[in-house]
Structure 1
Amino acid sequence: MAEILKAEHLRKVFFSQEREVLAVDDVSFSLKQGEKLAIIGESGSGKTTVARLVTRLIDASSGKIFLEGDDITHARGKQLKEAYKKMQMVFQSPIESFDPRLTLGDGIMESLLNHGLKKAAALEECLKLLSLCGLPKEFAPRYPHEVSGGQCQRAAIARALAIEPKLLILDEATSALDVTVQAEILKLLQQLQKERTMAYLFICHDIALVQDFCDRVIVMHEGSIVEEGTPDDVIKHPQKAYTKKLIESVL
């Protein structure tokens, strides 16, 4: 499979009250089309910062980011818009990711309209996407606060799929959901990945959650990658004391 995402020596320094905080330190990895890669670690390990870097929500202090071979490290304007046709992000809190003034349907249709679809065609596609993600058409006129967290996350995934991206970045996308709904969302993602051959970058703090879901796992600690491999290798044969501690906390 072709390489869709590559990060080279990413580094991110935040400045706060004349103090430097090194959030990400020399992080490199690649992700192929159709592959599911997890980045796990405790809160503050740098995994969410990595997600925000590769999606260009924040600028890297140094390093490079490539999307299908194109350097998007400093992408702006038209180049960034083109990049977002290929990758989309699903956030931890789906309700906060939607504009509360818009219905779920309007939120999904917004990107379709921005990419040139007429309103009737955008509505038809919106209803198809909702159905694909397990929500009937009756959810289109509902507002984010009128549905459950799991239902809102399904709508958020539908919105992310609207422009048919090749890569989804999921930042703790199931952590706010109960165990049953978590399992339903992961099953949905598995199904979508098989149908569309998308790649997933799955940001998570729970190594047990990704054991049966992802192809590879990267473990981060204090901004750096400390271990990587298949989920079984990392869980059954951890090499670092931090990884062993992380596994023991959830298994």
Structure 2
Amino acid sequence: MEKILEARHLRKVFQAGSREPLLAVDDVSFAVGAGEKVALIGESGSGKSTVAKLITRLLAVTDGQIFLDGEEITRARGMKLKQAYRKMQMVFQSPVDSFDPRCTLGDGIAESLRNHGYAKAEAGAETARLMELCGLRPELSDCYPYEVSGGQCQRAAIARALAIRPKLLILDEATSALDVTVQAEIMSLLNRLQRELSMSYLFICHDIALVQDFCDRVLVMHNGRIVEEGTADEVIRHPQKKYTQMLIDSVL
């Protein structure tokens, strides 16, 4: 299978003044194939979100390498990093916080398009198409993030992430702030978009039950390391590690 994303021996150490260094990510290696949905699960503090920030270059890697669509981006800057963002986008846990509160949802989506070369009229038309694709009424384009529901705002965040047609979508706890009904709607949307657009997903989550029917493979993180991996059925039905069993028991 063609690899869209590959992480090799990622390591991240946080150093704050005279305090003891904190090893947040310790020798993490994995890959996401073309059209594949891979879950990265674990408790809060296990290192999942730090891995996402390393991959998207929101944090600098201490050691290791990151490859996107076959090209190393570990220390990419400037135009090379901009080109990387054409291939991958991230959807965050809090959709309201991810938008500029001074801009409407439509402006937030259109800005992403304009930053990648769309003329104003073209950006407006594409914004309307993306909102429709993500199940949003056209009139919501004129609403501010705080004027819509959490589910609507997260749909807008997904529309914005899709604006440049990335090959990889990284979802960092993208449904955890939503109620169960809205969460199910967002998962259904993501499934439909993956089928229609053939994207790859890295789905970061602390809820192993949520990923059972959604992801092809599951990676389990604990204390900064991947301690177990396999297909969703293998990991959930026949866990090999006590930690994974504990995660499963916590949602039963």
Distance across 2 between alignment mates of 1:245 and 1:195: 35
Aligned partners of 1:59, 1:163: CA distance in 2, in Å? 24
Amino acid at match of 1:11: R
- For the residue of structure 1 that corresponds to 2:142, the secondary structure is coil
Q: Which residue of 1 aligns with 2:12?
A: 12
Matched residue, 1:46: 47
Unaligned runs of 5+ in 1: none
Superposition deviation, residue 230 in structure 1 = 1.0
Distance in 1 of aligned mates of 2:201 and 2:226: 18
Alpha-carbon distance, 1:182 to partner: 0.6
**Match of 2:61?**
60
Taking the aligned partners of 1:243 and 1:114, their CA distance within structure 2 comes to 42
Partner of 1:3: 3
AA at the equivalent of 1:170: L
Q: Which amino acid aligns with 1:16?
A: A
Q: Secondary structure of the residue that 2:121 maps to in structure 1?
A: helix
Percent same amino acid among aligned pairs? 70
Which segment drifts farther, 108-117 or 86-95? 108-117
Secondary structure class of the residue paired with 1:23 = strand
* SS state at 1:228 partner: strand
Q: 1:231, CA displacement in angstroms?
A: 1.3
The CA distance in 2 between the partners of 1:247 and 1:17, in whole Å, is: 38
Determine the C-alpha separation between the residues in 2 that align with 1:54 and 1:149.
26
Which residue of 1 is the match for residue 234 of structure 2? 233
Deviation at 1:17, TM superposition (A): 3.6
Partner of 1:26: 27
1:143: which partner in 2?
144
For residues 65-144 of structure 1, the aligned pairs below 5 Å read: 65-144=66-145
Secondary structure at 1:8 match in 2: strand
The one-letter amino acid of 1:238's match is P
Q: Deviations over 1:124-175 (max 9, x none)?
A: 1000000000001101010000000000000000000000000000000000
Please give the TM-score of this superposition, normalised by the length of structure 2: 0.99
Which residue pairs with 2:197 in the alignment? 196
Shift of 1:28: 0.2
With 222-231 and 14-23 compared, the bigger mean Cα shift is at 14-23
**3-state DSSP of counterpart to 1:135:** coil
Compute the RMSD of aligned alpha carbons.
0.6
For 2:123, give the aligned amino acid: A
Q: Distance in 2 between matches of 1:248 and 1:92?
A: 24
**1-structure distance, mates of 2:244, 2:157:** 32
Q: What count of residue pairs does the alignment treat as equivalent?
A: 251
Question: Secondary structure of 1:140's match?
Answer: helix
Q: Deviations over 1:88-130 (max 9, x none)?
A: 0000000000000000000000011111211111101000000
Q: TM-score, normalised by structure 1?
A: 0.99
Q: Distance in 2 between matches of 1:220 and 1:116?
A: 39
1:207 to 2:208 alignment: yes
Instruction: Find the residue that maps to 1:39 and give its secondary structure.
Output: strand
